[in-house]
Amino acid sequence: MATIGEVARIAGVSRSTASYALSGKRTISADVRRRVEAAVAELGYTPNAGARALATSQTRVIGLLAQFLEDEFAPAMLQYMLGVSNTARELGYDILLGTEADGRNALRRMTSSRMVDGIVLLNVAEHDDRLPILREAIQPGALVGLPADCTGVDVFDLDFEEAGRLMVDHLHRLGHRELILVSQPEHVIERGGAYVWRLQNAATEAARARGITLHADFGSAHQPEVGRELHALLDAYPGATGLLINNEAAAAALPTVLHERALTAPADLSVVGRYSDEFARTFSLPYSSIESAPDRLGRMAVRELVRRIEGQVGPDEPHVVRFVSPELVDRGSTAAPRGD
């Protein structure tokens, strides 16, 4: 394994100059930096993480706490994880992933042992029991998901309330007066998944204000249960002309359900979902949707976290709470109701 001394020898500089060229701790001429980089490439040199941590008090590692929960659709969660890990890699950081059920223990272990320079939390609950530990840690933290109390952390999330209103308003403008909303499983709300009721409540209020009948229900996170539930909802509300989906498993199951019922969108039923463009491509979904922006949210969280890690944000500067505004991606699955 190559050493920093060998890099320095090949580059024709001192060991300390080679180290500074790689760390950026001091200003190094462009010529010297190029020679050091060429030596690194030639030798396949990788800095020793342990030595770097001792020298700089930084590990260049970000802790990512996420769980694949039974009541959430795993491919959707994976997109958030990829958004975080890809951005961390671009910025020169590795990811230490914690997925154990006891998130408090995982977080305490990561922060107390100084295994990481900062923490990103996913699966954020309204009253998340990991937050008191994160606030007490010396490392900064960023959340993808909105808790009830945002004190001491940077928070990034989709504006789910506006997403719910946008879904209803879009179909209202087309003349729809009876809609079905399929949300995540009900126990997602029970364990603190506030994003579900945030969208549902906003959609319900918007429908009421516009004289629309909205049938709000919950769907499972797995097949074949969610497919059977979609059939049952369409049977229960035959007058509904629009379907809103805030449930990735239901969105993935819908093409099969409509095919089995000999229905098409938008001729028989207008459909608007809430998921990412990447998700739509992965599952070949032809339905218009609100972009859930997992890549963008992960990127925003990691960039702000790295700014705090690297001292670009002063310790007394306030933390941020930022929402991504919902955008409707039109894939041609909505139209005026038949007969209008």
Separation of alpha carbons 224 and 204, rounded Å: 27
Residue 47: its pLDDT value, please? 66
Residue 338: its pLDDT value, please? 86
Residue 54: its pLDDT value, please? 44
Confidence of residue 172 (pLDDT cuts 50, 70, 90): very high
Residue 28: its pLDDT value, please? 82
pLDDT in tens, 116-152: 999 999 999 999 999 999 999 999 999 999 999 999 9
Q: In what order do the strands lie in the sheet with 270-274?
A: 213-218, 178-183, 242-245, 270-274, 288-290, 328-329
By mean pLDDT, which of 21-25, 166-170, 281-285 is the weakest? 21-25
Separation of alpha carbons 278 and 82, rounded Å: 12
Confidence of residue 170 (pLDDT cuts 50, 70, 90): very high
Separation of alpha carbons 71 and 291, rounded Å: 21
Choice between 53 and 135, residue whose per-residue pLDDT is larger: 135
Mean pLDDT score across all residues of the chain:
92
Residue 20: its pLDDT value, please? 79
Residue 49: its pLDDT value, please? 52
Separation of alpha carbons 304 and 21, rounded Å: 25
Q: Three-state secondary structure along 146-170?
A: CCCCCCCCEEEEECHHHHHHHHHHH
Residue 294: its pLDDT value, please? 95
Most confident of 50-54, 76-80, 161-165, 309-313: 161-165
pLDDT higher than 60, residue 56: no
Mean pLDDT on 315-331 = 94
Separation of alpha carbons 142 and 120, rounded Å: 5
pLDDT higher than 90, residue 68: no
